[in-house]
């Protein structure tokens, strides 16, 4: 920029868009150059217009100086951190601009001489007074050419020459009103041209004199015609003795209603009679009655034969002085639309003596100088319109969108609140009226919902928001039309009865933060179960960990390992099934399947060096308003049964591939290796494995309740449940960690609060294990994962979590405690008998969590004077390989 003309003294960035305080700033690398950098902490912004900053520009030339400075982009580029063809730095052509300091101008200063000074107005002139006007025209910033000055004065002023300098055009001397013109070939910058002329006042009125000046500026950058104007006025009025006025001066009434307006007389000086010629717009109003104050004015008449004109006379037998009511008008509004009309008491100065006019008289019928104070009447009529239809305003993060489940069997619809903004664009208040909401299925034409709400009142120019709550339960991806009508029952007379309706076309989305039937019917389904046998299930996250794609944008390989220390399988066990779960988040791939190679964004897993590319992908997307919530979270399941090493170590390697110069924000939540094996020393068990993936986040602003943020896993137990001494439930809920009452777990009718109160090791997996045997049912058993809002604590959101896995391990056997069996026995003296010491080694718990039992200690007490213990025989528990009896 040109420093001799301008200087950029400051830069104010839009910190809402560019929130990286370190990467945003400006500097002056050399005089006349400013350098701006701007950055965001979050993800790349999608294509669009984004305000960068406001520049503070100061003109350096000083007052009265005009100049132009170009604003030239020397270099401009943006950086795109998203993978793909736009990754990296990109030159962006700058659209250069200009700054103009100052502007050529023509200043007109019009004055009138009051005898001692040049003023803008003479307030107290009288007919016959002579006044002199002065016009000063000054140029700024340019040497102008072809200056014309035109002065126009009202007919209440008479031209009487004395123009100086000689004008190019002037009216004849003695003309009432007219125009005077001066021409000057040049008007240089800062030069002033002065003109004078005289007038004489010829009537009572406010008479103004307007001077206009125009000239041509030939200078580069400012070429063009410029103008200016100013006025001076002369006000002349007689010295009023009386005044006639309305009470109230400004009146109003709604359509088809009336109001009363009084006419009063006041002032010093005696009078005896009067006449009023009252005019108004008959298209707006009508005077339907006149009641004269007969106590004061016993004589008079009223003629209403002419539309828009009332002729009123009033008189008494003697003169009086003071303040009196003349009478009362009843004015009717006869227009349904907004209208306003002057109530003009036509006086002699408006029409002259020859036309019927308003006048007051003394006892000799001589006119009295009277000020006739006109009034105004307005028809105050409302006009209702619908200015806006808003969806789910109580859930602002939905971005003014409706939400519902996919229309499938078992879909659980949820109410969507609607609001309509009703505005009264008329000039009159309105009483009670009704607003109707009608929602139709656009495709079928069927009416699916409606509601009618009352508005008690709405002032002129005011707006109100009307709610239609819990009447509409839509399905996602279906077409709806919402029609809102104000004054649905025609309770209000309006100026325009055809503008009361607004319609909005809506296609609801799926709110992916809801679960199960509130979304698309997804659940955590049984994908594997054993028969009854000597089976067991073990699991471990190994040394897997949470990897942030945002903080590690260039990651390509993720590794996790399992050893006998963290996943021990007994010798000679037969591995029935081994499943590797890979949990991920913030997936931006176009098809939202990180195992699909077709779009160039994918992961490839090797397990113990064997390619396991074909995993089953589960994913869920919130599909809310912000770009972040358009990402996918999910889980890939790999069958690694054949590759699993039951006696050694196991390694998973995940390779991440993406197109050059594209985004790479995939995060890994952790890995979980689950093994089901068979071994003769294991108790008889039935094992169920349920997999799925459901995002859950109860939060008011997202329009998700605790009930809706619930995922379901169902186990159909067909065996006689009386056989099972133990039922262990293992649940996996990625990102569930807040505990307290922010998440809940249900097993049938049993509820546990805050079961996922932290992450498992270095992952971001919430894993819980608990005994559910007391709550086991024959047939269908339901597990519910829930993100829960603790209303009692005044909270508005629950845990931001997912539901992915539920494992149920049913163990056969009589539920036992340590005891003697039989508890009572009758024997004869000298007889030998056996007693069983019975323990339940599979019922051990520590801090409420089930654990394996590796040793048992017991003490058997008896009366040695009666009994003698001769031997101990090892039972099933002590006969296992490698056990020792101490």
Q: How far apart are CA 357 and CA 255, in angstroms?
A: 30
pLDDT tens digit sequence for 677-708: 999 999 999 999 999 999 999 999 999 999 99
Q: What is the pLDDT of residue 268?
A: 82
pLDDT at 867 over 50: yes
Count other C-beta atoms under 10 Å from residue 95's C-beta: 8
Whether the model clears a pTM of 0.95, i.e. scores above it, the answer is: no
| Res. 840: pLDDT tops 70 | no
SS3 state at 767: strand
Q: What is the Cα–Cα distance from 705 to 120, expressed in whole angstroms? A: 70
| Token reading at 554 | 């260039």
C-alpha distances in Å from residue 432, one per residue of 54, 469, 647, 785: 48, 20, 82, 48
Strands (DSSP E) found in 719-848: 724-734, 743-747, 750-753, 765-771, 779-787, 801-812, 819-821, 836-838, 845-846
pLDDT (0 to 100) of residue 699: 95
Tell me the C-alpha distance between 685 and 530, whole Å.
Answer: 8
Say if 105-236 and 690-812 have the same CATH topology: no
Backbone region of residue 29 per phi and psi (left: phi > 0; alpha: psi in -120 to 50; beta: other values): alpha
Q: How far is CA 9 from the centre of its chain?
A: 35
> Per CATH, the architecture of 529-685 is what?
Sandwich (2.60)
Residues 672, 543: Cα–Cα separation, whole Å? 10
User: Long-range pairs for 175-178 at CB < 8 Å and ≥24 separation?
Assistant: 176/202, 177/153, 178/152, 178/153
Predicted local confidence at residue 673, as pLDDT: 98
| CA 561 to chain centroid | 47
CA atoms of 278 and 466, how far apart (whole Å): 45
| Contact present, 564 and 613 (Cβ < 8 Å) | no
DSSP 337-362: S-EEEEEEE-BHHHH-TTS--BEEE-
Q: What is the mean pLDDT of the chain?
A: 90
| Phi, psi dihedral angles at 793 (to 5 degrees) | -95, 5
- Give me the pLDDT at residue 815, please: 44
**Omega before residue 495 within 30° of 0, cis:** no
**Residue 5 DSSP symbol:** T
With contact defined as beta carbons under 8 Å apart, do 13 and 38 qualify?
Answer: yes
Give which of 47, 69, 44, 51 is closest to 12, Cα–Cα: 51
Q: What is the DSSP string of 423-469?
A: EE-SSS-B--EEEEEEEEETTT--EEEEEEEEE--B-TT-EEEEEEE
Phi, psi at 848, each rounded to 5°: 80, -5
Matching residue, tokens 């110069």? 661
Q: Parallel, antiparallel, or unpaired: how do β-strands 610-611 and 480-486 relate?
A: unpaired
Q: Rounded distance, CA 422 to CA 389, Å?
A: 9
Answer yes or no: are the C-beta atoms of 510 and 476 closer than 8 Å.
yes
Decide if pLDDT at 750 tops 70.
yes
Strand partners of residue 144: 187
CB neighbour burial string for 336-370, b if at least 16 within 10 angstroms, e if fewer: bebbbbebbbbbbeeeeeeeebbbbbeeeeeebeb
What tokens appear for 381 in the block? 């009529």
Q: Is the pLDDT of residue 24 over 60?
A: yes
CB contact at 8 A, 111 and 134:
yes
729 beta partners: 770, 808
Q: What is the pLDDT of residue 212?
A: 96
**Range 637-665 average pLDDT:** 90
Task: Report, as an integer, the average pLDDT of 143-164.
Answer: 92
- Distance (Å, whole) CA 31 – CA 26: 14
Q: What is the mean pLDDT of residues 710-735?
A: 96
Q: Per CATH, which fold does 690-812 belong to?
A: Jelly Rolls (2.60.120)
Unique residue bearing structure tokens 């009718």? 749
Contact partners, residue 832, CB within 8 Å, separation at least 6: 870
What would the pLDDT profile of 619-632 be if each residue is shown by its tens digit? Answer: 999 876 566 777 89
N- to C-terminal Cα distance for the chain?
94
- Most confident by average pLDDT, 25-29, 62-66, 488-492, 711-715: 711-715
Q: Which two tokens stand for residue 510?
A: 């799926």
Q: Are 58 and 4 in contact (CB under 8 A)?
A: no
In this structure, is the dihedral angle defined by the CA atoms of residues 749, 755, 760 and 765, taken in order, positive or negative?
positive
Q: Is the pLDDT of residue 813 over 80?
A: no
User: Is domain 105-236 annotated with CATH 2.60.40.740?
Assistant: yes
Mean pLDDT of 200-204: 86
- C-alpha of 431 from chain center: 31
What pLDDT score does 704 carry?
95
Give pLDDT tens digits for 436-453: 999 999 999 999 999 999
Tokens 């010093």 belong to 268
Residues in contact with 237: Cβ distance below 8 Å, sequence separation at least 6, in sequence order: 124, 204, 205, 371
Beta-strand runs (E) in 102-223: 105-113, 118-119, 121-125, 130-140, 144-159, 176-187, 192-201, 205-217
In degrees, rounded to 5, the angle at the alpha carbon of residue 737 between the alpha carbons of residues 735 and 743 is 100
Q: What is the pLDDT of residues 223-261, one digit of tens each?
A: 899 999 999 999 887 677 899 999 999 999 998 999 999
pLDDT of residue 625: 59
Please say whether the beta carbons of 663 and 588 come within 8 A: yes
Q: What pLDDT was estimated at residue 629?
A: 72
Band of residue 816 on the pLDDT scale cut at 50, 70, 90: very low
Distance CA 626, CA 569 (A): 46
Who has greater pLDDT, 643 or 862? Answer: 643
Give the burial class of 78: count Cβ atoms within 10 A of its Cβ; 0-12 exposed, 13-18 middle, 19 or more buried.
middle
Instruction: Give the model's confidence band at 846: pLDDT under 50 very low, under 70 low, under 90 confident, else very high.
Output: low
How long a stretch of residues is the chain?
886
| pLDDT value for 87 | 56
Max Cα separation, the chain?
160
User: What is the spatial distance between Cα 131 and Cα 197, in angstroms, rounded to a whole number?
Assistant: 9
pLDDT tier, 871 (very low <50, low <70, confident <90, very high otherwise)? confident
Give the pLDDT of residue 203.
Answer: 82
CA distance 538 to 544: 16
**Half-sphere exposure (Cβ direction) of 777: Cα atoms closer than 13 Å:** 12
Comparing 853 with 333, which gets the higher pLDDT? 333
Q: Determine the Cα–Cα distance for residues 807 and 715; give it in Å rounded to an integer.
A: 9
Out of 43-47, 107-111, 356-360, least confident range: 43-47
What is the reported pLDDT for 86?
A: 55
The superfamily CATH assigns to domain 384-508 is Immunoglobulins (2.60.40.10)
Q: Which of 468, 451, 481 is nearest to 416 (CA)?
A: 468
Q: Which residue has the higher pLDDT, 579 or 104?
A: 579
Please check the confidence at residue 74 and state whether its pLDDT lies above 80.
yes
Domain 245-379 architecture: Sandwich (2.60)
643: left (phi over 0), alpha (psi -120 to 50) or beta: alpha
**Could you tell me the residue ranges of all domains in the chain?**
6-101, 105-236, 245-379, 384-508, 529-685, 690-812, 817-886
């Amino acid at each position: 920029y040109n420093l001799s003309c301008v200087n950029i003294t400051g830069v104010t960035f839009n910190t809402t868009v560019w929130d990286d305080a370190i990467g945003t700033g400006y500097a002056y690398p050399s005089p006349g150059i400013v350098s701006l950098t701007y950055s965001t902490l979050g993800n790349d912004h999608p294509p669009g217009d984004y305000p960068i900053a406001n520049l503070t520009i100061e003109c350096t030339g000083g007052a009265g100086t005009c100049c132009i400075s170009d604003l030239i982009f020397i270099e401009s580029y943006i950086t795109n951190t998203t993978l793909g063809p736009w990754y990296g730095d990109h030159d962006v052509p700058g659209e250069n601009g200009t700054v103009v300091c100052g502007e050529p101008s023509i200043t007109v200063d019009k004055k009138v001489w009051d005898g001692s000074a040049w003023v803008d107005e003479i307030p107290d002139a009288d007919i016959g007074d002579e006044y002199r006007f002065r016009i000063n025209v000054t140029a700024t910033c340019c040497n102008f050419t072809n200056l014309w000055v035109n002065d126009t004065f009202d007919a209440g002023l008479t031209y009487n020459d004395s123009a100086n300098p000689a004008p190019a055009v002037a009216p004849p001397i003695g003309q009432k009103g007219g125009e005077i013109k001066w021409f000057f070939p040049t008007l240089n910058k800062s030069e002033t041209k002065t003109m004078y002329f005289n007038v004489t006042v010829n009537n009572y009125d406010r008479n103004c004199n307007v001077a206009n000046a125009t000239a041509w500026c030939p200078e580069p950058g400012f070429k063009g015609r410029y103008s200016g104007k100013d006025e001076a006025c002369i006000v002349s009025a007689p010295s009023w003795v009386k005044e006639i006025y309305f009470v109230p001066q400004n009146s109003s009434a709604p359509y088809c209603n009336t109001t009363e307006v009084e006419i009063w007389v006041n002032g010093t000086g005696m009078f005896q009679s009067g006449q009023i010629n009252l005019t108004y717009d008959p298209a707006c109003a009508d005077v339907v009655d006149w009641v004269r104050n007969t106590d004061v004015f016993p004589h008079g008449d009223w003629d209403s034969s002419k539309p828009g004109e009332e002729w009123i006379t009033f008189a008494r037998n003697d003169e009086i002085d003071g303040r009196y009511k003349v009478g009362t008008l009843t004015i009717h509004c006869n227009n349904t639309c907004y209208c306003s009309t002057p109530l003009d008491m036509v006086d002699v100065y408006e029409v002259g003596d020859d036309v019927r006019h308003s006048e007051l008289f003394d006892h000799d019928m001589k006119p009295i100088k009277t000020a006739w104070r006109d009034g105004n009447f307005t028809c105050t009529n409302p006009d209702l319109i619908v200015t806006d239809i808003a969806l789910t305003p109580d859930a602002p993060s939905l971005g003014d969108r409706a939400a519902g489940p996919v229309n499938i069997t078992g879909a659980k619809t949820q109410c969507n609140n609607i609001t309509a903004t009703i505005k009264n664009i008329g000039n009159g208040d309105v009483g009670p009226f009704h607003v109707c909401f009608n929602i139709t299925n656009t495709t079928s034409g069927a009416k699916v919902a409606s509601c009618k709400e009352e508005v008690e009142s709405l002032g002129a120019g005011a707006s109100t928001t009307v709610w239609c709550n819990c009447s509409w339960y839509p399905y996602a991806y279906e077409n709806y039309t919402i029609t809102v009508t104000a004054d649905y029952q025609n309770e209000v007379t309006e100026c325009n009865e055809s503008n009361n309706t607004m319609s909005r076309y809506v296609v609801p989305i799926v709110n992916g933060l809801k679960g199960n039937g509130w979304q698309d019917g997804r659940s955590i389904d049984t994908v594997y179960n054993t028969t009854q046998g000597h089976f067991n299930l073990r699991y471990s996250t190994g040394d897997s960990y949470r990897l942030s794609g945002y903080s590690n944008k260039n990651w390509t390989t993720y590794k996790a390992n399992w050893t006998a220390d963290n996943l021990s399988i007994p010798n000679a066990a037969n591995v029935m099934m081994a499943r590797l779960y890979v949990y991920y988040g913030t997936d931006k791939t176009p098809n939202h399947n990180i195992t699909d190679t077709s779009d160039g964004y994918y992961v490839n897993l090797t397990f113990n060096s064997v390619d396991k590319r074909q995993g089953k992908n589960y994913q869920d997307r919130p599909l809310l308003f912000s770009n972040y919530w358009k990402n996918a979270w999910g889980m890939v399941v790999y069958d690694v049964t054949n590759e699993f090493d039951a006696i050694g170590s196991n390694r998973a390697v995940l390779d991440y591939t993406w197109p050059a110069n594209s985004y790479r924000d995939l995060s890994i939540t952790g890995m979980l290796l689950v093994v089901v094996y068979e071994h003769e020393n294991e108790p008889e068990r039935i094992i169920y494995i349920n997999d799925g993936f459901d995002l859950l986040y109860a939060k008011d602003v997202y329009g998700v309740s605790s009930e809706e943020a619930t995922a379901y896993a169902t186990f159909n137990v067909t065996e006689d449940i009386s056989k099972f001494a133990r039922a262990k439930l293992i649940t996996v809920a990625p990102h569930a960690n807040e505990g307290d009452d922010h998440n809940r777990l249900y097993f049938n009718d049993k509820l546990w609060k805050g079961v996922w109160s932290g992450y498992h090791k270095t992952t971001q997996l919430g894993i819980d294990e608990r005994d559910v045997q007391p709550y086991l049912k024959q047939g269908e058993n339901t597990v519910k994962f829930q993100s829960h809002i603790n209303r009692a604590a005044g909270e508005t959101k629950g845990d931001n979590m997912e539901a992915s896995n539920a494992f149920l391990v049913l163990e056969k056997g009589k539920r036992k405690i340590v005891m003697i069996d039989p508890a009572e026995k009758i024997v004869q003296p000298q007889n030998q008998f056996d007693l069983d010491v019975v323990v339940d080694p599979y019922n051990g718990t520590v801090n409420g969590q089930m654990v394996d039992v590796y040793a048992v200690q017991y003490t058997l007490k008896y009366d040695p004077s009666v009994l003698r213990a001769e031997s101990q025989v090892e039972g099933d528990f002590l006969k296992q390989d490698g056990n020792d009896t101490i």
